[in-house]
């Protein structure tokens, strides 16, 4: 049984820890410091500043930071929203006030595969056989303080499945396959972008009653209002990427589920859920199980009607219909890939000790082993490029789990150590080649997080031998350089000329720590971070609704640090930041693009204080902080902004802690 950590249900601020999507933002960004600031009750100048910056802003509406992330190798993107900190606190207050009502309205559908069941009070502590204390920064001082945030997943616990693949691997799915011949997979087209915020009230109390009580401050209207304020008062579309939006959608779609079941139970259909058909829904994806085509068609028709009531529509070109055996190309490939991975990792690469830890086996040619493994995976996925992309990410995750189990024991003699190192270096070459190959096949945020963790673990393993450590640094740095010189990066870079995906900047942030002596040349960084494009956009920055500038800027600053060889690029970045802050400081309290940029650049140790003083002057003059903190000098405000961490953790030693926290915070 896994050890569990108990946390207080009344710690409502922990909602903030999981409000942002952990894998769709830069790995150096988190809400941990924000959470700590919002929990402070010292009633000092810092408290007053925090309340001014993030507290209630009467009737304000907030502009989220909207940015694209990759959907795959074809270069298509989807837009994610990072909400303004004040907006996040507003959502936190709504959950604090209406948490029980949210749980009640999310527990009415028997078709939902992921719904909030209760407020979480315990979280599993993930144990590790390796000592990573030397990878941790100074921010963590005690086990108690570390546990207070490290293992928190979400404010709510979700049932029956936290991730979709758990359903397809479950006994429930096996029973459905035994009972029904056909499976129809459907999904809602641009679900979050199409949601009409007022429809939340329709789901809660009915459309007619809702339209006749728009001025009443009740549960439905309150959450409708909060969602609008978080998205610049927009009523069409809700932000993507935060947990509150998923709860918002879940309430609406549970009503859709129940409408469909009720309609089908009546004449002329007279169909019984569980007997004549079953459908399951995971967020906005539907899975219809039935035997007779007439039943499946009726189910689809009524589902479309119920969705249309909420101005939602099924995506016509993503419909998949299967006949028993109900196995998709991805599931079929996964069965074969699982066998290949287990044989490769547990037979070819590693051997297991009695305590469950692994040690590297002897191989003779790393390149031959790499080629053989990749060929087998490709062969297993030959029927579908979609399954190959999916299995690429799956392979990276499987390798990460095994690498985390490798340990070196001090029990042996010097000859044993030499043998361990000799075998380990070849295994590391294999692992690094494979994970970077598959990352190019499917460069997802989750894969970039897994590769970052693998790189850290490998670096820690290599620390037992100085020569091995140098070789690992050279190997990882060479693969990262090769990636940014590859056709994969050139294709995506040319197709998306105005932004660097966070999936790619994550690799650079980690490589800065893993390979500090083998960094990329300045001219290459200018191209990667699209510095010239950011300069050209300075004057129209606030007019661009979708932007990745903030993440590009913080990643570039993190990577170049204080290194003198990057003086040109540092000067350009500071100039870019200055133009954005000069033009947008008046919007600091409502525009997430300005809020995050100012706070994280003020805390950045690589920007001269003289420049920060100019920004502090803008902040002090144009935001209202002078009157809000009456009696607090400009110099005192400067000290508060520059000596505290806000969202980006600039301390390189802290990156391992951040990676651990992001791994625990599950997505969907």
- The per-residue pLDDT for 437 is 94
Q: Does the pLDDT at position 511 exceed 70?
A: yes
Q: Are the beta carbons of 444 and 393 closer than 8 angstroms?
A: yes
Q: Does the pLDDT at position 173 exceed 60?
A: yes
- The per-residue pLDDT for 141 is 34
Higher pLDDT residue, 133 or 622? 622
- The per-residue pLDDT for 384 is 79
Higher pLDDT residue, 220 or 299? 299
Q: What is the pLDDT of residues 103-151, one digit of tens each?
A: 999 999 999 999 999 887 766 555 555 555 555 544 433 334 444 444 4
Beta-carbon contacts of 208 under 8 Å, excluding residues fewer than 6 positions away, are none
Query: CA-CA distance, 106 to 201, in Å (whole number)?
Result: 14
Distances (CA, A) of 258 to 2, 254, 438, 551: 36, 6, 41, 41
- The per-residue pLDDT for 354 is 87
Q: Does the pLDDT at position 430 exceed 90?
A: yes
Query: CA-CA distance, 162 to 160, in Å (whole number)?
Result: 7
* Radius of gyration from C-alpha coordinates of the chain: 26
Query: CA-CA distance, 551 to 593, in Å (whole number)?
Result: 10
Q: What is the average per-residue pLDDT within 555-572?
A: 95
Q: Which of 474, 450, 448 is nearest to 462 (CA)?
A: 474
Mean pLDDT of the chain: 87
Q: What is the average per-residue pLDDT within 71-86?
A: 82
Query: CA-CA distance, 91 to 522, in Å (whole number)?
Result: 42
Query: CA-CA distance, 607 to 605, in Å (whole number)?
Result: 6
Which has the minimum average pLDDT: 140-149, 579-588, 629-638, 646-655? 140-149
- The per-residue pLDDT for 185 is 94
Give the model's confidence band at 502: pLDDT under 50 very low, under 70 low, under 90 confident, else very high. confident
Q: Does the pLDDT at position 214 exceed 70?
A: no
- The per-residue pLDDT for 653 is 77
User: What tokens appear for 24 in the block?
Assistant: 């769709």
- The per-residue pLDDT for 216 is 59
Higher pLDDT residue, 473 or 543? 473
The dihedral built from the CA positions of residue 168, 171, 173 and 174, taken in this order, carries a sign that is positive
Q: Does the pLDDT at position 215 exceed 70?
A: no
Q: Does the pLDDT at position 34 exceed 60?
A: yes
User: What tokens appear for 371 in the block?
Assistant: 């080629």
Higher pLDDT residue, 76 or 498? 76
Percent of the chain whose predicted confidence (pLDDT) is above 70: 90
Q: What is the pLDDT of residues 375-407, one digit of tens each?
A: 999 999 887 788 888 899 899 999 999 999 998
Which has the minimum average pLDDT: 25-39, 55-69, 239-253? 55-69
- The per-residue pLDDT for 72 is 63
Q: What is the pLDDT of residues 304-360, one digit of tens each?
A: 999 999 999 999 887 889 888 777 777 788 889 999 999 999 899 999 988 888 999
- The per-residue pLDDT for 335 is 86
- The per-residue pLDDT for 142 is 35
Query: CA-CA distance, 116 to 568, in Å (whole number)?
Result: 50
- The per-residue pLDDT for 286 is 97
Beta-carbon contacts of 124 under 8 Å, excluding residues fewer than 6 positions away, are 2, 3, 4, 5, 151
Model-level pTM? 0.91
């Amino acid at each position: 049984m896994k050890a569990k950590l108990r946390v207080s249900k009344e710690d409502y601020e922990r909602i903030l820890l999981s409000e942002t999507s952990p894998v769709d933002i830069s790995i150096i960004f988190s809400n941990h410091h924000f959470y700590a600031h919002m929990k402070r009750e010292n009633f000092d100048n810092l408290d007053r500043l925090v309340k001014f910056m993030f507290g209630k802003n009467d009737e304000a509406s907030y502009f989220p930071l909207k940015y694209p992330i990759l959907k795959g190798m074809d270069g298509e993107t989807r837009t994610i929203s990072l909400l303004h900190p004040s907006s996040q606190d507003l959502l936190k207050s709504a959950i604090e006030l209406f948490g029980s009502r949210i749980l009640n309205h999310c527990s009415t559908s028997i078709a939902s595969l992921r719904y909030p069941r209760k407020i979480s009070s315990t979280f599993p502590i993930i144990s590790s056989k390796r000592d990573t204390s030397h990878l941790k920064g100074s921010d963590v001082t005690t086990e108690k303080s570390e546990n207070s945030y490290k293992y928190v997943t979400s404010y709510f616990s979700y049932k029956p499945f936290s991730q979709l693949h758990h359903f397809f691997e479950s006994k429930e799915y096996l029973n459905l396959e035994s009972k029904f011949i056909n499976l129809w997979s459907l999904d809602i087209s641009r679900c979050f972008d199409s949601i009409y915020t007022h429809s939340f009230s329709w789901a809660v109390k009915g459309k007619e009653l809702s339209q006749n009580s728009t001025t009443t401050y009740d549960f439905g209207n309150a959450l409708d209002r909060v969602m609008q304020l978080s998205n610049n008062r927009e009523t069409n579309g809700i932000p993507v990427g935060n947990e509150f939006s998923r709860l918002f959608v879940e309430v609406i779609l549970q009503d859709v589920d129940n409408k469909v079941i009720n309609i089908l139970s009546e004449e002329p259909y007279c169909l019984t859920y569980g007997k004549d058909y079953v459908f399951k829904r995971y967020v906005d994806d539907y899975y219809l199980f039935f035997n007779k085509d007439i039943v499946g068609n009726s189910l689809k028709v009524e589902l479309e009607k119920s969705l249309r009531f909420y101005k939602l529509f099924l995506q016509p070109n993503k419909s998949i219909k299967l006949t028993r055996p109900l196995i998709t190309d991805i599931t079929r490939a996964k069965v074969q890939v699982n066998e290949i991975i287990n044989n490769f990792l547990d037979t070819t690469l590693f051997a297991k000790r009695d305590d469950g830890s692994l040690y590297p086996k002897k191989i003779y040619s790393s390149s031959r082993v790499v080629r053989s493994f990749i060929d087998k995976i490709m062969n297993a996925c030959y029927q579908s490029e979609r399954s190959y992309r999916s299995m690429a990410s799956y392979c990276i995750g499987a390798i990460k789990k095994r690498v985390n189990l490798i340990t070196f024991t001090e029990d042996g003699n010097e000859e044993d150590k030499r043998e361990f190192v000799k075998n380990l270096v070849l295994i590391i070459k294999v692992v690094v080649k494979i994970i970077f190959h598959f990352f190019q096949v499917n460069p997802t945020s989750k894969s970039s997080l897994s590769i970052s963790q693998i790189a850290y673990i490998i670096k820690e393993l290599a620390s037992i031998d100085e020569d091995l450590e140098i070789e690992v640094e050279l190997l990882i740095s060479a693969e990262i350089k090769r990636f940014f010189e590859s056709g994969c990066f050139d294709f995506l870079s040319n197709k998306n000329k105005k932004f660097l995906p966070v999936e790619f900047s994550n690799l650079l942030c980690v490589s800065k720590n893993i390979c500090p002596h083998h960094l990329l040349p300045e001219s290459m960084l200018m191209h990667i971070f699209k510095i010239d494009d950011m300069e050209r956009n300075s004057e129209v920055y606030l007019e661009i609704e979708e932007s990745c500038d903030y993440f590009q800027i913080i990643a570039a600053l993190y990577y170049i640090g204080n290194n003198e060889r990057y003086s040109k690029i540092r000067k350009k970045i500071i100039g870019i930041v200055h133009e954005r802050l000069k033009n947008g400081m008046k919007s600091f309290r409502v525009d997430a693009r300005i809020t995050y940029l100012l706070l994280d650049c003020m805390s950045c140790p690589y920007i001269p204080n003289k420049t920060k003083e100019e920004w502090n002057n803008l902040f002090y003059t144009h935001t209202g902080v002078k009157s809000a903190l009456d009696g607090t000098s400009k110099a005192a405000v400067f000290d508060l902004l520059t000596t505290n961490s806000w969202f980006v953790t600039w301390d390189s030693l802290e990156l391992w802690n951040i990676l651990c926290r992001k791994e625990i915070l599950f997505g969907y």
